[in-house]
Amino acid sequence: MSANQSKRDWQAVPLRYVCQLNPPVDFGAFGEDDELTFLPMDRVKSGYFIPNTDKFSKYASSYNSFEEGDIVLAKVTPCFENGNIAIGENLLGGKGFGSSELFVIRATGVARKFLFYYFQSSTFKQEGEASMTGAGGLKRVSPDLLRRHYLPLPAVKIQHQIADYLDLETARIDELVAEKLHMLALLEEKRVALISRAVTRGLNPDAPLKPSGLDWLGDIPAHWEVMPIKYVATVGNGSTPAVDNVDYWDENGFPWLNSSVVNADYVKEPSRHVTAKALTECHLPTINPPAVLVGITGQGKTRGMASILTIEATINQHLAFVKPRGERITAEYLRYVLVRVYSFLRSDSDGSGSTKGAITCEQLANFRITLPPENEQVHIVRQIQEGKRVMDRIQQELNSSVRLLKERRAALITAAVIGQINFSPDSKNCRRIENRAIEVNGDFPC
């Protein structure tokens, strides 16, 4: 029997006929201090959730409730597109509550696991994305989608076979993805170690050493120096003109940079452009390359990160510039030193309120760094860059492999839940499910 022939018994059933959207949950047996599973949006991942709890007294009408076996599905962008979905299992107290940005779906006339996989199919996701309303990052899938959507539905036995097959195949793919992600993590550790070793011990493993005088640094080559950044570079920070002042912004004006630029190795393009009036009235510094830009505020990915400035520009208040003076230090070497001490810059930062976690220009200027001779700095930078090129190529190959595996996983799920894979009793797919079931518990699902 072919896949197309086996699909003759499938039906297109309104989704609302076989499941409930945001079904009622009875919390009558719980007291105010009872702990229940609590799911904020960031704890719902692709196929699972990260356990979290809170007191029942915190439950309010702004939350969605669910119970054991219910499916929770993200409805807001980009979580919906990323496939953030899970089945409520091993819930504390058997019930829970969570973000209002979650759909709660209870299977009533369909195999729960089949429905779980169907919601991950491109068939459903494309229609979900098309139904989104709102603007920018606040777009949401319309609840009407779940009420009007038609579900391709085979016999119950086939639903369970498809779910078992996808459990088996997606687990295999997920294991391969996990292995490659582990390799990427090890590669990043190696990249950090390459930079750290080069800017703290140099290129000659036999060079005589001396104490650096810094607890976090240890010994350094005896001919190197250690000194505050301010002795070899000028440090300053920028400002942001009022966004709504049209006199301050002009697409043909002077290049201006926001803090996101420090996530790249080199800054080559402006974020926006400001007018000469903005430069004067807002006291914006004009910075000529070579210089290093450092993120000095925020709890995210920018604070402590550093990038090489390659264009003349000014910067916002969340960035500092470090411009080498004379020939004691090169911008490229300085940037790698700052990458090496990234964690120390973050832990050394202080501030309160809106500046909590900020690195001040004073702290940055007083931060003591290793200073080898200039010709040795050039060789250190060259070795780091050569090593990074090799690792970047491997990283690209691993990322490409992960992307292809995820695409394969998504295509496999879609093909299975819309009837493009054969699950007749004599099919190889059914035999694989049967062999796996016998191996696990002796069942014969086909």
319-378 pLDDT per residue, tens: 999 999 988 899 999 999 988 876 666 655 544 444 456 788 898 899 899 999 999 999
Looking at residue 13, its pLDDT comes to: 94
Find the mean pLDDT for residues 271-278. 94
pLDDT of residue 442: 52
Here the tokens at position 285 are: 């510094």
Distances (CA, A) of 63 to 93, 99, 100, 132, 245: 17, 5, 5, 21, 40
Residues in contact with 428: Cβ distance below 8 Å, sequence separation at least 6, in sequence order? none
* Range 151-187 burial, b when 16+ CB lie within 10 A, else e: bebbeeebbbbbbbbbeebbeeeeeebeebeeebeee
Report the run of H or E that residue 11 belongs to, with start and end.
Answer: strand 11-14
Average pLDDT in the 176-199 region?
A: 94
Q: What pLDDT was estimated at residue 431?
A: 56
What is the mean predicted confidence (pLDDT) over 161-190? Answer: 95
State the Cα–Cα distance between residues 110 and 69, nearest whole angstrom: 13
Q: Which residues contact 270 (CB under 8 A, 6 or more apart)?
A: 255, 256, 257, 311, 313
Distance, CA of 259 to chain centre: 18
Classify domain 157-223+373-446 at the CATH superfamily level.
Answer: Bipartite methylase S protein (1.10.287.1120)
Task: Give residue 51's pLDDT band: very low, low, confident or very high (50, 70, 90).
Answer: confident
Question: Residue 297: what pLDDT?
Answer: 82
pTM: 0.78
CA distance 254 to 274: 5
pLDDT value for 429: 61
* Stretch (H or E) spanning 39: strand 35-39
Q: What is the pLDDT of residue 427?
A: 61
Q: Which of 50-54, 124-128, 356-360 has the lowest mean pLDDT?
A: 356-360
298, 266 contact by CB (below 8 A) = no
* Per-residue pLDDT tens digits for 378-430: 999 999 999 999 999 999 999 999 999 999 999 999 999 999 988 765 566 66
Does residue 37 carry a pLDDT above 70? Answer: yes
Q: Where are the domains of the chain?
A: 3-153, 157-223+373-446, 225-371
Give the model's pLDDT for residue 440. Answer: 45
Encoded amino acid at 424, one letter: S
Average pLDDT over residues 95-114: 94
For residue 104, the cross-strand partners are 72
Output the six-digit token pair for 17. 């006929």
The Cα 75–Cα 86 span in angstroms is 13
What span, in angstroms and rounded, lies between the C-alpha atoms of 160 and 158? 5
> Could you tell me which of 169, 151, 157, 164 has the C-alpha nearest to residue 115?
151
Fold of 3-153: Adenine-n6-DNA-methyltransferase TaqI; Chain A, domain 2 (3.90.220)
Write down the pLDDT at residue 217: 83
Q: Count Cβ atoms within 10 A of the Cβ of residue 196 and give its class: 0-12 exposed, 13-18 middle, 19 or more buried.
A: middle
Distance, CA of 292 to CA of 308 (rounded, Å): 5
User: Is 225-371 a CATH 3.90.220.20 domain?
Assistant: yes
Segment among 162-166, 202-206, 269-273, 303-307 with least mean pLDDT = 303-307
Ramachandran area for residue 136 (φ above 0: left; ψ -120 to 50: alpha; else beta):
left
Q: What is the pLDDT of residue 409?
A: 95
In DSSP terms, 221 is beta-bridged to: 209
pLDDT band at 444 (very low <50, low <70, confident <90, very high): very low
The yes-or-no answer to whether 3-153 and 157-223+373-446 have a common fold is: no
| Average pLDDT value over all residues in the chain | 88
Two tokens at 159? 């639903």
Number of H helices, E strands in the chain: 12, 22
Determine which helix (DSSP H) or strand (DSSP E) holds 227, and give its type and residue range. strand 225-228
**Total length of the chain:** 446
Out of 74-88, 222-236, 268-282, 342-356, least confident range: 342-356
Asked whether the predicted pLDDT for residue 436 surpasses 60, the reply is: no
The first and second tokens of residue 161, run together, are: 């076979």
**How confident is the model over 248-252, as a mean pLDDT?**
93
Instruction: Examine the pLDDT at 148 and tell me if it is beyond 60.
Output: yes
Give the side-chain half-sphere CA count within 13 A for 125.
Answer: 23
Structure confidence at residue 162 (pLDDT): 94
Per-residue pLDDT at 355: 45
**Which backbone phi and psi does 189 adopt, to 5 degrees?**
-60, -40
Q: How far is CA 123 from the centre of its chain?
A: 25
Question: Which region among 49-53, 223-227, 255-259, 415-419 has the lowest average model confidence (pLDDT)?
Answer: 49-53
What would the two tokens of residue 106 be?
Answer: 């209870």
Is the pLDDT at 191 greater than 60? The verdict is: yes
Locate 2 and state its tokens: 């072919």
In the prediction, which pLDDT does 5 show?
Answer: 44
- CA-CA distance, 105 to 19, in Å (whole number)? 7
